[in-house]
Structure 1
Amino acid sequence: MGQGGETGADTLYASEASRHRRLDHTVNVSGLLALGYGFDERQHVGANLLLLRQSTDHSQQILSEAFSANGSTLGNGEETLRSLFNWTERQMALGQLYGSHTLGADDELGANWHLTSAHSDYQRPYDVSYRYHRQQNGSYRFETGSEGFGVGWEAMEEEALSAGFSLATSWSLGADWSGEVKWGLDALRARQDGYLLDYTFIAKGDIDADQVLMEQNDPAQILTPDNIVGLPGEDGFLLDNVSDLGLTPPALDGGFYASEHRNRAGYLLADFHFRHRWQWLLGARHERDRVRADFWDAAPEAWVPLLDERTDLFSTALRYSPSDSQQWHLGYSETAVWPGVNELMPRRYEDVELRIQMTGNPNLEAAWAENWDLRWQWQDEERGVRAKLLGFYKSIDSAIEGVFFDPVISSDRTFNVFTYVNTEAATLYGYELELDWRRLWAEAHELSVKSSFARLDSEVDIPAEVGRESGERAMQGQPEYLGSVQLRYQHLHSGQRLSLTYQQSGGELYIVSNTFDVPSVYRRPRGTLSLAYNRPLLADASIAFAVENLLDDDHHYQQGGQTFLRYQQGRRYELRFSYDF
């Protein structure tokens, strides 16, 4: 992993190159129970129960060699060996009741409703990280302090309740005009409670001068009960509660937290049809989103508002079908992108893939977007060909992006802290082309090809006072292009299916840096290939086998002309058995 910056010919920054060894064991268990009952053709009610559980054991070792801040090359003999161990337990239980009803003498009124409850748990009870460092021609020595040793306990529990209700009525006016008017309400309330406790040991007195002790390979032989002290004035290791001071406002600082997210929305949609060739849609939506949180160490305190905004959003679309095989669509819509709870709360955690520290930003604001799109579709059923061409334009105010930042600016160490900010303005435009082909032989063999290509261009306006990246640049998370091709064969009589899918994505701005001397991180183009086979076994049972990431192409991220992170995930094999009863 290399991290650093580039602003000019004389800019120097710290960076490092690393080699990673990683082992993950993941066990997934899921179950779905679906029930439904129809009183008659006009009334239907149902229930769903979904259970998910995942257990993951993670081990990783990182051998790093540093570039010095004065620009010297690798090979100065300084190395760091870091080891990480943790296990994570996730589970969710979701229950839902829903109904669909047709009312009125002529079935002109339809009502739909749902009530959904979800309970989620997240546990990481013992997350350990430690490192050994050696100077030139020296031996590896155990390091204390927040940069060397850390142990954390993390837990989260969330209760979410959502409900929705809608009424729709259809109408007609003569033989030419018809349509539908739909009105609805949606509501969500989610409560999250948890803690994120980080501890380290700091060396007091002269204990770290004991070379024999500090060069023990096993940290458990160093951090023994005899060497752990309770008073700062003694020689030994003192337990220290890692603090995020400088990263969070005082009212949002603490190891224990609670948050509440509420969303309320009402909408109205009108759909007009004229002679089965023209369609006009009009929509309006009023939405309010609120997030508040409480952080504490000793006892709960007052709630702190993180977000409370409301908006009115409008949309319209016009569709014209000159023939049964062709359709044109012109659309306009307004959307609100609300920051997520975890993007707002200033909790510090480490990203497993990028090995950087991440934290939320309580000053984050919602993003607002205006969207235009023009779409043309054509199909030839006889030849089995379908084509779609889409052009789009999006204008965004206060777009949300992830950026590097650090409370202490230093050229002697790499940047490794990441948060979210609002950019002033952004635009996204491009086109998408889809081309599909399907052929059937002897009413038993079906061969199909699905292909797509999308070109994306984006611009973000950066104010001059930001400094190194003022002007225009690409928008974060928007690849230059996306392409895919899928070849699928299906034997209709037996139900067997075999598919091969290739996907390619262009380079993209992955992590933004608006800070002097710290360049942004870009992800290089990458392709993936996957193979899947499905076969029915019995009337209600089937088996599926899949191989993902056949090419095992590199994940390659660059920063300032150097490799920020480069790794291979390896191929993934999946065997699935399903039974419906």
Structure 2
Amino acid sequence: MNKPANRFSIKPTSLAVLAGLAMQALPIMAQEQGDDAEAIEEVVATGTRLKGTATAVMEERKNQAFVADIMGAEQISRTGDSDAAAALRRVTGLTLVDGKFIYVRGLGERYSSTQLNGAAVPSPDPTRNVIPLDLFPSAIIESLSVQKAYSPSMPASFGGGNVDIRLKTIPSDFIFSVTGNLGSSTDNFDDAYAYDGGGQDWRGEDDGTRAAPAAITSRWESKNFLDNLPQGEAVALLKDMNRNYDPKLESVDPDYGFNLSVGNSFDYDEDWRFGFLASSGYTSETDVTEEYIGEQPLRNGDTIRMVRYFDEVDTTEKSVKWSTMLNVGVDYNRQHRIDYSVIVLNDTRDQIQEKVGNTANITLNDNQRVREYEIQYEERSLYTNQIRGTHTFPELGFLGFDWKYSLGRSARQAPGNMEARFLLDDENLDGIYDKETESALSNSTTAGRYTFQTLHDRVENYMYNFNLPYTLDNWEMEFKVGGNFLTKTRTAENRRLDINTRAFADTSLLSGYEFADILSDNVLDTATLSNIPILRDTTVAGDDYAAAQKIDAYYFEADLFYNNTWRISGGVRYEDFRQAVVPFDPRSNQFDLPANADRSQLAFVEDNFYPAIALTYFMQEDMQLRFNYGETVVRPDLREVSSSTYIDPLTEFPIGGTPGIRTTAIKNYDIRWEWYREAGNNVSVGLFYKDMADPIESVQSPAQDGPPLVRIANAESGELYGMEVEFLQGLGFIDEGIWDNLFVSGNVTVSGSQIQLDRQHIVEQTGVSASVTNLQRRLTGHSEYVVNLQLGYDSDNGEHSGSLVYNVFGDRILIPGIDGFDDSYEQPFHSLDMVYKYYPDFNTTITLRVQNILGEDRELEFEDTLLRSETRGTDFRLSYQYDF
């Protein structure tokens, strides 16, 4: 129900301090009230830190009309997770994919939506609408809310759920906090591959070292591409390019970072209150792994072998993240409040990968191996401005009005990625393929490849909501009406240049192991070159595109309490959705469409009503039973409605959209029983079912040479069903002593899914052959079980706390099978982490975090055949925090 707006929220820690002061004041009050009362010399209030915040978030979850799970900042701190993506995998039914994307109840990233403080934000992902959640550091997060049951005030594009990242708010009192951390990994103790980058890499910013030279960019800008250049001109342009990317072994620097926060609130007169919170953080981390990559299987009877594979893969990934957040706010008479926030996030990934393997043409039988190295560098940034207002009018029956305006921009800059290919020839037949003495640059049209990519995304979102409480006899009611309006625009460009070494008349000049030496200025000036241009511009049609999306939505929602026993909530949402995607031919700047294609395929328009209802029965004061039903939709992503084929910058797979792709309609059912007990102990059991019409899936067409063509198509039908159990329980009931200091919490999700595909319908829809192996299978990304467990400890004197945290997910399909090969499953990953905190005084916190204690590897398999593997070391981090 509507309540007068509070002043700036009091954090759970502050509540604990206030409670302790109040308890200490009780003896004095008792002594003043009675002459015969005995004085109490000392009162000690104890309670676990997690339970304090768990009680706060449980209370919020309990009061939600629609099924939701909420994770508070202290809970995130207890598990030691560094960003929103890692923290969310602890939430019931959620799994993490690629360290960035959250699957809710086994539904892929397209089936979940993300908001920041309740507003839409842009995505720096080059091919998807979804937001990589590793962008958001945990240091700026107040809580994470995952709403799993649809309500009319939420976006209708709602499949598995909606994730709302709620940033830290203005404190009630002065805070000044400084945190520093230092860490490493067991995989980082030896030397690792590196390369010469730019002078500003420590800032997460390229200084121009990787960028395309001005002579080339000016040609691209004038649509004068590098096709069939005279050899002299091609050589001159190549000499301007950075060729110094060769790997070299170096020691690995430790991970380090810091965070600084300061905030306060001020009273002015009796009615006004002002406040602010500023936070800034920086981290630099290195991740070293050993991998295996299988790319092209071949079946021979009952055996399967990889025709193309890399069995010696060494990867070094450096990441630099920095964040800045500023919140300012004003409150008048506890009835009117306005807040303004600005958030700036930057995440730079710099990866070098050294690979040795074989192909169908380069085999061990011929005493040859192929060596490749690849540089992937990208800067992702997010800038968001938000202003929010909350108003209560007591003179109008406590009418409430709140509004929000958010303007966000994101960008992805990949100023110069590079890959090179070498041939290793075991000339002395000693079985050792020496990278230095038995190496030559590949004599091919793609001996080297440079890519330059940019993306800009802009999202403007404004919304309003009126709510009016009303009481009649045994009924307490609240009615809401509101609107939500979103405008999104995106532009993207991708340029490619290949080095064609077949231009060399004397192939002996290609001998060597360093790209920069083989193609040095001196070699290029003196070598005899044929008429074949040494530079090839391989930018393709569809690499550039512009997209726009507009949603106008209105909703009505009612929340009705009857006799404190029943709660009925529900309403309907109307959305008018419009989307247009325009792929361009970079050379002509014209639409990239087949000659017979209708331009109308570039637009996707629909409007509809989306109802929802929630029924809650209060069985006891601390126990309730919920039932939720809602109708939602999942729409095609930006590039999936156009027939243009493009290269996914992340996977390098060619992807073709499908005109006429249909929206997925979903009917969502949820039942959950919840029991909120004393001291924060709680347990809940939920059942869910989703009935999907026309699920959107990725299918593959058989490869002719290279990776298969991925197309977007509709399955015939799909369903998802399962059960979730969540609990938190102190262990003091077992016995006194140490048991009073221990608690266990966790969640278990067991579920099943199934989709039905029709091969002929897919062929008719996509226009290409679809060699799908399994026409009936699980949803892509769905795990049949997810388990999270935590054992926590808090000492009596409050100086020590610890958590042992376990997470595992069941195997899940990541690559659907084609050509008779079964689907490829990511294997279960058992994660065991430990977090210990020491509080030597009231102001200081020392934290030791150990992650992946079991040292598990990530593996992807099909038919008991290894397709991919990646080592994951045990990480250590020590941090020191001081609150002034």
SS of structure 2 residue aligned to 1:105: helix
Name the counterpart of 2:723: 431
- Residue 624 (structure 2) aligned to one of 324, 327, 348: 327
Contact 2:671 2:687 (C-alpha < 8 Å) held by counterparts: yes
**Distance of 2:394 and 2:723 partners within structure 1:** 45
Name the counterpart of 2:787: 483
1:234 alignment partner AA: S
**Distance of 2:375 and 2:464 partners within structure 1:** 46
Contact 1:373 1:391 (C-alpha < 8 Å) held by counterparts: yes
Quote how far apart the aligned CAs of 1:546 are.
3.0
Name the counterpart of 2:309: 16
Cα deviation 1:299-324 (Å, max 9, x = unaligned)? 65469725322222111121112212
Change in CA separation of 1:422 and 1:33 when aligned onto 2, cut-off 3 Å: same
Contact 2:695 2:718 (C-alpha < 8 Å) held by counterparts: yes
Q: Runs of 5+ in structure 1 lacking a partner? A: 245-252
Change in CA separation of 1:471 and 1:170 when aligned onto 2, cut-off 3 Å: same
SS of structure 2 residue aligned to 1:81: strand
- Residue 326 (structure 2) aligned to one of 19, 30, 33: 33
**Distance of 1:163 and 1:421 partners within structure 2:** 33
Change in CA separation of 1:534 and 1:11 when aligned onto 2, cut-off 3 Å: closer
CA RMSD, Structure 1 to Structure 2 (Å): 3.4
Contact 1:405 1:417 (C-alpha < 8 Å) held by counterparts: yes
Contact 2:805 2:833 (C-alpha < 8 Å) held by counterparts: yes
**Distance of 1:243 and 1:177 partners within structure 2:** 66
Name the counterpart of 1:223: 519
1:317 alignment partner AA: A
Is 1:555 aligned to residue 555 of structure 2?
Answer: no
Contact 2:421 2:442 (C-alpha < 8 Å) held by counterparts: yes
Quote how far apart the aligned CAs of 1:565 are.
0.3
% identity of equivalent residues: 20
Change in CA separation of 1:197 and 1:482 when aligned onto 2, cut-off 3 Å: same
**Distance of 2:605 and 2:879 partners within structure 1:** 44
Quote how far apart the aligned CAs of 1:34 are.
1.2
2:635 alignment partner AA: W
Cα deviation 1:193-243 (Å, max 9, x = unaligned)? 2311111022456x2x634212221223333557779xxx93454311224
Name the counterpart of 2:295: 3
Is 1:62 aligned to residue 355 of structure 2?
Answer: yes
Is 1:110 aligned to residue 405 of structure 2?
Answer: no
**Distance of 2:647 and 2:678 partners within structure 1:** 55
Name the counterpart of 1:505: 809
SS of structure 1 residue aligned to 2:855: coil
Change in CA separation of 1:356 and 1:348 when aligned onto 2, cut-off 3 Å: closer
**Distance of 2:554 and 2:878 partners within structure 1:** 43
Is 1:566 aligned to residue 861 of structure 2?
Answer: no
Contact 1:187 1:265 (C-alpha < 8 Å) held by counterparts: yes
Quote how far apart the aligned CAs of 1:63 are.
1.1
- Residue 309 (structure 1) aligned to one of 606, 614, 634: 606
**Distance of 1:567 and 1:109 partners within structure 2:** 57
- Residue 653 (structure 2) aligned to one of 334, 340, 357: 357
Cα deviation 1:66-111 (Å, max 9, x = unaligned)? 4689xxx975544211101232222222111101001241543111
**Distance of 2:311 and 2:701 partners within structure 1:** 21
Name the counterpart of 2:382: 92
Contact 1:403 1:511 (C-alpha < 8 Å) held by counterparts: no
- Residue 185 (structure 1) aligned to one of 458, 468, 483: 483
Show the 5 A alignment for 1:250-261. Answer: 253-261=541-549
Change in CA separation of 1:340 and 1:228 when aligned onto 2, cut-off 3 Å: farther
Name the counterpart of 1:522: 825
Name the counterpart of 1:44: 337
Which structure shows the higher strand fraction? 1
Contact 2:319 2:347 (C-alpha < 8 Å) held by counterparts: yes
SS of structure 1 residue aligned to 2:683: strand
Quote how far apart the aligned CAs of 1:112 are.
0.9
**Distance of 1:541 and 1:85 partners within structure 2:** 41
Contact 1:46 1:97 (C-alpha < 8 Å) held by counterparts: yes
1:489 alignment partner AA: Y
2:478 alignment partner AA: E
2:344 alignment partner AA: L
SS of structure 2 residue aligned to 1:212: helix
Tell me: higher relative CO, structure 1 or 2? Use CA pairs within 8 A at least 6 residues apart: 2
**Distance of 1:538 and 1:210 partners within structure 2:** 73
Show the 5 A alignment for 1:329-344. Answer: 329-341=626-638
**Distance of 1:553 and 1:394 partners within structure 2:** 33
Name the counterpart of 1:250: none
Contact 1:172 1:179 (C-alpha < 8 Å) held by counterparts: yes
**Distance of 1:454 and 1:474 partners within structure 2:** 16
Larger displacement relative to structure 2 (425-434 or 490-499): 490-499
SS of structure 2 residue aligned to 1:220: helix
Quote how far apart the aligned CAs of 1:115 are.
0.7
1:190 alignment partner AA: K
1:462 alignment partner AA: L
Contact 1:14 1:414 (C-alpha < 8 Å) held by counterparts: no
Larger displacement relative to structure 2 (273-282 or 557-566): 557-566
**Distance of 2:587 and 2:772 partners within structure 1:** 42
SS of structure 1 residue aligned to 2:500: strand
1:450 alignment partner AA: S
**Distance of 2:699 and 2:821 partners within structure 1:** 10
Cα deviation 1:169-192 (Å, max 9, x = unaligned)? 111111x11221111111121222
Quote how far apart the aligned CAs of 1:399 are.
1.7
Q: Runs of 5+ in structure 2 lacking a partner? A: 1-292, 430-437, 592-598, 761-769
Which structure shows the higher helix fraction? 2
**Distance of 1:566 and 1:223 partners within structure 2:** 34
Name the counterpart of 1:156: 455
Contact 1:2 1:563 (C-alpha < 8 Å) held by counterparts: yes
Name the counterpart of 1:248: none
**Distance of 1:287 and 1:106 partners within structure 2:** 30
Cα deviation 1:463-490 (Å, max 9, x = unaligned)? 1535653542111110121011012223
- Residue 493 (structure 2) aligned to one of 183, 195, 217: 195
Contact 1:150 1:198 (C-alpha < 8 Å) held by counterparts: yes
Contact 1:204 1:235 (C-alpha < 8 Å) held by counterparts: no
Quote how far apart the aligned CAs of 1:59 are.
0.8
TM-score, length basis structure 1:
0.85
Contact 2:423 2:442 (C-alpha < 8 Å) held by counterparts: yes
- Residue 297 (structure 1) aligned to one of 582, 586, 595: 586
**Distance of 1:198 and 1:447 partners within structure 2:** 58
**Distance of 1:555 and 1:400 partners within structure 2:** 27
How many equivalent pairs are there?
555
2:295 alignment partner AA: Q
SS of structure 2 residue aligned to 1:234: coil
1:52 alignment partner AA: L
Cα deviation 1:320-366 (Å, max 9, x = unaligned)? 12212321112111111233336667542343xxx652646254443
2:750 alignment partner AA: R
Name the counterpart of 2:412: 122
Cα deviation 1:250-289 (Å, max 9, x = unaligned)? xxx2443322222222211111211111111222111233
**Distance of 1:68 and 1:152 partners within structure 2:** 26
Contact 1:186 1:265 (C-alpha < 8 Å) held by counterparts: yes
Larger displacement relative to structure 2 (185-194 or 426-435): 185-194
Quote how far apart the aligned CAs of 1:378 are.
2.2
Change in CA separation of 1:291 and 1:547 when aligned onto 2, cut-off 3 Å: farther
- Residue 556 (structure 2) aligned to one of 268, 273, 290: 268
Contact 1:344 1:361 (C-alpha < 8 Å) held by counterparts: yes
Show the 5 A alignment for 1:457-476. Answer: 457-465=752-760, 468-469=772-773, 471-476=775-780
Contact 1:146 1:242 (C-alpha < 8 Å) held by counterparts: no
